[in-house]
Amino acid sequence: MIFLLAVTLILRDGKRINSPSIHLEGEKIFLEDTVLSRRDVDEIVFKTGGISMGKGERDVSSLLRLAEKADSLFPDAPGVVLIDEGRWEYFPDGSRKYTYHFAGLVKKEEKRGWRRRFFWYEKEREALRVEYARVIKPDGSVRYAGEIKIASPTTGDVFFDRGEIASFELPDVDPGDIVEYLYVDSTFKPWFPSLFEGDWFFGGREPVLYSSLTIKIPPGETLIYVARNGKPEVKRKRNEWTFTMECIPPVIEEPAMPPLSDLVPSITFSNLTSWDPLFDWYGEFQKRRLRITPRIKRVADSLTSGVDEPEKKVEILYHWVQRNIRYISIKGGASSGVSGHPAEETLLKGYGDCTDKAILFAALLRACGIEAYPVYINTNDAGSLVREVPSFYGNHAIDKVKFDGKEIFLDATGYYSRYPSFWSADHGVWAVNALERRIEYIPIPPPERNARIYTYSMVLHEDGTLDVEFQSEYTGDYESWIRGFWDTRREEEKERVFQGMVKEVSPKAELVSWEIENLKDLSKPLRLKIRYRIKDFPEKAENYWIFRLPELQERMEKRELSLTERRYPLFYETSEMIVQRVKLILPPGKVSPPSSIELKGRYALFSGEYRVKEDTLYLEAIWKRWEREIPPEEYSEYRRQVMEAKRWLGKPVILELQ
């Protein structure tokens, strides 16, 4: 049975009936005071969705018994999910209904947040009914939620021109109480009626006693599904499937772990056996929005005037879209939410979200004769694509660009990515390329494309003063972050930050000068130049000076390696390279640096070498990591490699003065 609010029924004889609510069950339509056959109804017009609150009565004693069991099984947990139960029903007309039942035992203060529940809700497409929401006290007494509150959401640079947030709050929730609610969300105007898809996660950061998902589809429909990270019990009865797991332990938080959705047991399902319908649907939206208008052509030509090389045109347009189109997201229906606004509209407004900027960038490239395709991805902190199951996919949009036999990916969403770098959250993920009808992998750039290069020219004077000229430059997303940091600082702030940087090197350090090169010019590498002085730099013992080169060891400080062993993979967004080069002019004497080192591992490499030439000491130390994830079974070896590299960089240099 499906429950809908605020509808108009148009009968076959032309008569119109307005009703504040209806129930649909089989071939019958139940109004408040009558029952109609679907054969008598020509059209149901859903003028608006709605939201309402009811009260239901469920067995309190059974929940109290579950709470006792949960307390004995998970005595130290701050909260235990007693019931986590979902049910999807898909109807022949494409509408669908989702019913969710939750009950959780609050054991500590930090889980009192369960008393609040928020729903993203589009009243033009959905009807939402909270059947009941209550708190059950240990003595069995019950208190219900009050009214449902509605708010229009805005978050930073994201604005919603459709949809609202509905919420309720349960009163007087304390440790020892059970929070329980059940709601029904009916979607009567789905974006894509012939697609029925979703996923379900068994467990999470709290232990779960019972979790189940039921899926019911019309006879003759197909259902495919993939289970990951566990095997739920599966029961099928004709066109209805139920997936169940019990006593699921919590995910224990670790530093730098993969997204939760890639760790917990899950089911991903769809009624499509091929991506083709989604390619068609996405592609039609994109084709209309990629239209090269005279204005788009004029802008593309003017920006690339006098440039013949395709790659240089890509670079110019990439930087221009980033710097001139502000990121603001306007979320509406499927056409704007999924495929963005027309390229010319975004150009004229001067703002748009990731999809809008991807559409505009691709249109400008196409106006120059360069192949470009907007693609949808999930950023690598948001969970992996299950490629076997066609589904709505992606929390982000970027572009695939083809020229001179090359295929690259670029992300024009931000403001600071220097070609050919793009946001590290896009690395190592799958992309849905609708126009080329492909699911394709975005490779992780080599470490050289995510490099930090630090160069020192130092002079150690006979009075023990160390003069340092430092320069840093970067490639990849780290450069984008550094550029954004400095671009948003006022001049007086910059001076204070540089002062703080040299004081972190040594409390005795004094800033002499600083300079930032190419801060506003995305086409050139960003460089930081700092000069500072440290008095009484070496430790002295008779005619021996002992010192450690500044800052080198600190760059191998990796807080994510605090654990001696791990349960889950160590997760990074992208590859990494750190190059440190030092030229140090010394007073006359005999210098004894550490011996050279090379540490080769499966996921990383470190090499360090000192050389002495007359009165000058040279150092080159290089760290490379080329993978995003380190499996738990490889973690100890990787950690040992990093620690050994860090120890080597911290070894002292000994100078025996003449």
Integer Cα distance of 181 and 136 in angstroms? 11
Picking from 79-83, 168-172, 510-514, which range would have the lowest pLDDT averaged per residue?
A: 168-172
Nearest to 361 by CA among 418, 400, 311: 400
Residues 225 and 362 in one domain: no
The answer to whether residues 288 and 335 touch, using CB atoms and an 8 Å cutoff, is no
In this predicted structure, the answer to whether residue 171 has a pLDDT above a threshold of 80 is yes
Output the six-digit token pair for 612.
Answer: 């002495």
Mean pLDDT throughout 596-613? Answer: 97
Q: Let me know whether 247 and 318 are in one domain.
A: no
d(CA 80, CA 62): 15
Q: What is the pLDDT of residue 594?
A: 97
Residue pLDDT, tens place only, 275-304: 999 999 999 999 999 999 999 999 999 999
**How confident is the model at residue 158, as a pLDDT?**
45
The one-letter amino acid code at 587 reads P
> Given this model, what pLDDT does residue 120 score?
81
Given this model, what pLDDT does residue 30 score?
A: 65
More confident residue, 637 or 59: 637
Q: What is the pLDDT of residues 178-221, one digit of tens each?
A: 999 999 999 999 989 999 999 999 999 999 999 999 999 999 99
Residues 6 or more apart whose Cβ sits within 8 Å of residue 567 = 252, 254, 632
Structure confidence by residue, pLDDT tens digits, 24-44: 554 566 665 677 775 666 555
Q: Residue 440 CA to chain centroid, in angstroms?
A: 19
CA distance linking residue 231 with residue 265, whole number of Å = 7
By three-state DSSP, how is residue 434 classified?
A: coil
Give me the phi and psi of 299, to 5 degrees please: -65, -45
8, containing H or E segment? strand 2-11
Distance between terminal CA atoms of the chain? 94
Do 470 and 515 form a contact (C-beta atoms < 8 A)? no
Q: Crossing angle, helix 310-324 and helix 354-367, to 10 degrees?
A: 150
Q: In which element (H, E) is residue 131 found?
A: strand 126-136
What residues form DSSP beta bridges with 267?
A: 200, 227
* Residue 415 near residue 352 (C-beta atoms within 8 A): no
Distance, CA of 409 to CA of 396 (rounded, Å):
13
- Rounded to whole angstroms, the Cα distance separating 200 from 213 reads 7
Chain position carrying tokens 């984008």: 480
552: tokens are 């080198």
Q: Is the pLDDT of residue 47 over 80?
A: no
Across the range 73-98, mean pLDDT stands at: 97
- Does residue 254 sit in the same domain as residue 158? yes
Q: Are residues 245 and 295 in the same domain?
A: no
Residue 591 backbone phi and psi in degrees, to 5: -105, 140
Average pLDDT of the residues of the chain? 91
* Residues 519 and 590 grouped into a single domain: yes
- The answer, yes or no, to whether residue 399 has pLDDT greater than 70, is yes
Look at residue 334 and tell me whether its pLDDT is greater than 50: no
CATH classification at residue 537: 2.60.120.1130
Residue 147 burial by Cβ neighbours in a 10 Å radius (0-12, 13-18, 19+):
exposed
Q: How many domains does the chain have?
A: 4
- What count of residues does the chain have? 658
Domain end call among 251, 270, 289 = 270
Closest CA to 455 of 433, 435, 473, 482: 473
Same domain, 325 and 248: no
**Residues 347, 360: Cα–Cα separation, whole Å:** 7
Residue of 145, 149, 147, 182 lying closest to 166 (CA atoms) = 149
pTM equals 0.88
52 closest CA partner among 142, 124, 150: 150
Q: Which of 270, 289, 314 is the last residue of a domain?
A: 270
Going by C-beta distance under 8 Å and a sequence separation of 6 or more, which residues neighbour residue 539? Answer: 545, 546, 547
**Sign for the pseudo-dihedral over CA of 588, 594, 600, 604:** negative
Q: What is the CATH number of the domain that holds 177?
A: 2.60.40.3140
The radius of gyration of the chain's CA atoms, rounded to the nearest angstrom, is: 31
Mean pLDDT to the nearest integer, 594-607: 97
Examine the pLDDT at 392 and tell me if it is beyond 50. yes
505: nearest Cα among 533, 524, 465: 533
Greater model confidence, 55 or 520? 520
Q: Are residues 285 and 315 in the same domain?
A: yes
Contact, 614 vs 505, CB < 8 A?
Answer: no
- In whole angstroms, give the CA distance from residue 528 to residue 472: 5
Q: What is the pLDDT of residue 280?
A: 97
User: What pLDDT is stored for residue 1 in this prediction?
Assistant: 37
What CATH code is carried by the domain that includes residue 433?
3.10.620.30
* Phi, psi of 625, rounded to the nearest 5 degrees: -130, 125
Average pLDDT over residues 60-71: 95
Same domain, 293 and 259: no
Whether residue 9 is predicted with pLDDT greater than 90 in this model: the reply is no
Let me know whether 505 and 412 are in one domain.
no
| DSSP 8-state class, residue 223 | -
Range 95-123 average pLDDT: 93
- Asked whether the predicted pLDDT for residue 163 surpasses 90, the reply is no
Nearest to 645 by CA among 623, 629, 618, 627: 623
- Residue 605: CB atoms within 10 Å: 18
Alpha carbon distance 153, 642 (integer Å)? 45
Angle between helices 276-289 and 354-367 (to 10 degrees): 70
Question: Is residue 82 helix, strand or coil?
Answer: strand
Helices (H) and strands (E) in the chain, counts: 10, 44
The crossing angle, in degrees rounded to 10, of helices 294-303 and 310-324 is 110
Whether 434 contacts 392, CB under 8 Å: no
Answer yes or no: do 264 and 307 share one domain.
no
On the CB side of 472, CA atoms within 13 Å amount to 16
Q: Residue 420: is the preceding peptide bond cis (ω within 30°)? A: yes
Q: Which residue has the higher pLDDT, 37 or 456?
A: 456
Region for 229 from its dihedrals, namely left if φ exceeds 0, alpha if ψ lies in -120 to 50, beta otherwise: left
User: Containing domain of residue 33, as a range?
Assistant: 2-46
Residue of 525, 556, 529, 544 whose CA lies nearest to 468: 529
Is there a single domain that holds both residue 409 and residue 293? yes
How many CB atoms are located within 10 Å of the residue 549 CB? 23
Where does a domain end: 411, 441, 471? Answer: 441
**Half-sphere exposure (Cβ direction) of 495: Cα atoms closer than 13 Å:** 3
pLDDT value at position 340? 84
Say yes or no: 110 and 63 in one domain.
yes
